[in-house]
Amino acid sequence: MGINMARKAIVAIVGRPNVGKSTLFNNIAQKRLAIVEDTPGVTRDRLYATGEWRDVPFTLVDTGGIETMGETDMLRFVRYQAEEAIQEADVILFVVDARVGLTNEDEEIARRLRQSNKPILLVANKADSPNQQANVFEFYSLGLGDPIPVSAANKLNLGDLLDETLALFPDDALDGLDEADSEEIRVAIIGRPNVGKSSLFNSLIGKERSIVSNEAGTTRDAIDTTIERDGQTYVFIDTAGMRKRARVEEAVERYSVMRALRAVDRADIVLMVIDAVEGVTEQDKKIAGYAHEAGKGIILVVNKWDLVEKDTNTTLRYTEAIRTELGFMQYAPVVFVSALTKQRVHRLPELIRYVADQHSMRVSTSVLNQLVEDAININPPPNDKGRRLKLLYTTQVKTKPPTFVFFVNDPDLMHFSYRRYLENKLREAMGFEGTPIHFIVRSRSEKE
């Protein structure tokens, strides 16, 4: 499996911490995707987004600040991620701080960038005033050509910067830009912190793309990676671990949780990762409940299965325990994996594709009404104070998730138990494995 980015030029934003890379990224992408804080080192993982200039789309990569000093594990990880982004890039935007001026770190990063032999634009950020714009001349000593003064925060000179960037795109990066890829399946990987989401993400895409460590909350940004397998395009979204609200104190952590929820919102399918050792927790129920209520296709992925002592009935018992704890999600398939050993991870893309098909399934009106009629004949609606529910007509109004409108004589007579019965009958006949089903009940007067 390889990362499928051949159709778009890749623009990497690099530089030392706190020079405004994330602000520049956000304003070029025109979305608030990267976390922006004054604290150095906030952006840890690479973050991808699509930018567009003069009708030419491109892939924009934000990176963690390159720390040239120090050798902690996290600094090494961040440096590795930035260097990976540089290797992927067609054009590199090297951001420096016009207020602070030239630093030793800038000089060291410039030396490394020159070794990459990639087209580089020197971006002197925070040049908000004429005095600061005059300060950019000292950056000529880096040997990277003319510094381009900009203010990412105030969007000054960003058009000139993008013109220069576009001029450096390779010809082959512009091929096939008009070919829309509408068949992609967007997959969000969610769960509590430290259950192995990043390890699973890396195993799925076949490359170390997200930082993996035992520090809970390491992944702060939702990051997207596109892969193609057996003719199907998948976009995997690795998300920050969601933690209990009482434990979310820093602004950065709050924003990370928001992004994880947004990742669910823009996904088709959700991989809900559960720690096999700890089992289903109350927080797992809340996270899974959010995905369920959002109407997403869901696969329950029990990770760290290699750490569980097993006998012949372990899988069955564990599945039954999950079904009990997540009673509202009986429809979701359960897969037992080890992201570390890659046990059964290879089965996930095929299962994702299957659940995506179920999630987008459409039932013809004639078949649907026959199914409902058969269900009524087997088990007629009960009386309620002398009145009986009459189901007059049923139609499917949307997919993702499958949504059905039932026209009845009185919506108040459609009790939860009979609604659940009808859902079970629909599932028996049509499957709908891995997807919630939404029912809308209307009175006969609303049918028009």
Q: Which residue has the higher pLDDT, 135 or 246?
A: 135
The pLDDT value given to residue 176: 45
List pLDDT tens digits, range 41-94: 655 555 667 778 887 878 788 877 676 666 666 666 666 667 777 777 889 999
**Would you place residue 178 in the very low, low, confident or very high pLDDT band (cuts 50, 70, 90)?**
very low
| Of 363, 433, 420, the residue nearest 395 (C-alpha) | 363
- Whether residue 144 is predicted with pLDDT greater than 80 in this model: the reply is yes
Domain 365-446: which CATH class?
alpha beta
List pLDDT tens digits, range 263-282: 787 799 999 999 999 999 88
- Whether residue 363 is predicted with pLDDT greater than 90 in this model: the reply is yes
**Would you place residue 136 in the very low, low, confident or very high pLDDT band (cuts 50, 70, 90)?**
confident
Beta bridge partners of 60: 11, 49
List pLDDT tens digits, range 414-444: 999 999 999 999 999 999 999 999 999 999 7
Q: Which residue has the higher pLDDT, 331 or 193?
A: 331
The pLDDT value given to residue 69: 62
The pLDDT value given to residue 70: 65
Percentage of the chain surpassing pLDDT 90?
44
Beta bridge partners of 301: 273, 335
Q: Which residue has the higher pLDDT, 129 or 65?
A: 129
| Mean of pLDDT values over 373-399 | 92
List pLDDT tens digits, range 190-215: 888 889 888 998 898 887 666 666 65
Q: Which residue has the higher pLDDT, 55 or 445?
A: 55
CATH code given to domain 185-359: 3.40.50.300
**Would you place residue 123 in the very low, low, confident or very high pLDDT band (cuts 50, 70, 90)?**
very high
Domain parsing of the chain, residue ranges = 9-174, 185-359, 365-446
| Of 368, 355, 346, 344, the residue nearest 439 (C-alpha) | 368
Q: Which residue has the higher pLDDT, 178 or 171?
A: 171
| Mean of pLDDT values over 102-110 | 89
| Of 327, 298, 326, the residue nearest 401 (C-alpha) | 298
- Whether residue 252 is predicted with pLDDT greater than 60 in this model: the reply is no
> Rounded to whole angstroms, how far apart are CA atoms 224 and 235?
6
Contact 405, 392 (CB under 8 A): no
The pLDDT value given to residue 350: 94
**Residue 5: is it exposed, middle or buried by C-beta count within 10 angstroms (0-12/13-18/19+)?**
middle
The pLDDT value given to residue 244: 60
The pLDDT value given to residue 181: 40
Beta bridge partners of 303: 275
List pLDDT tens digits, range 1-14: 333 333 568 888 98
- Whether residue 343 is predicted with pLDDT greater than 50 in this model: the reply is yes
Contact 227, 1 (CB under 8 A): yes
- Whether residue 23 is predicted with pLDDT greater than 60 in this model: the reply is yes
The pLDDT value given to residue 189: 92
Quick check: do 9-174 and 185-359 share a fold? yes
Q: CATH for 9-174, among 3.30.70.1050, 3.40.50.300, 1.10.3720.10, 3.40.50.970?
A: 3.40.50.300
The pLDDT value given to residue 179: 38
**Would you place residue 171 in the very low, low, confident or very high pLDDT band (cuts 50, 70, 90)?**
confident
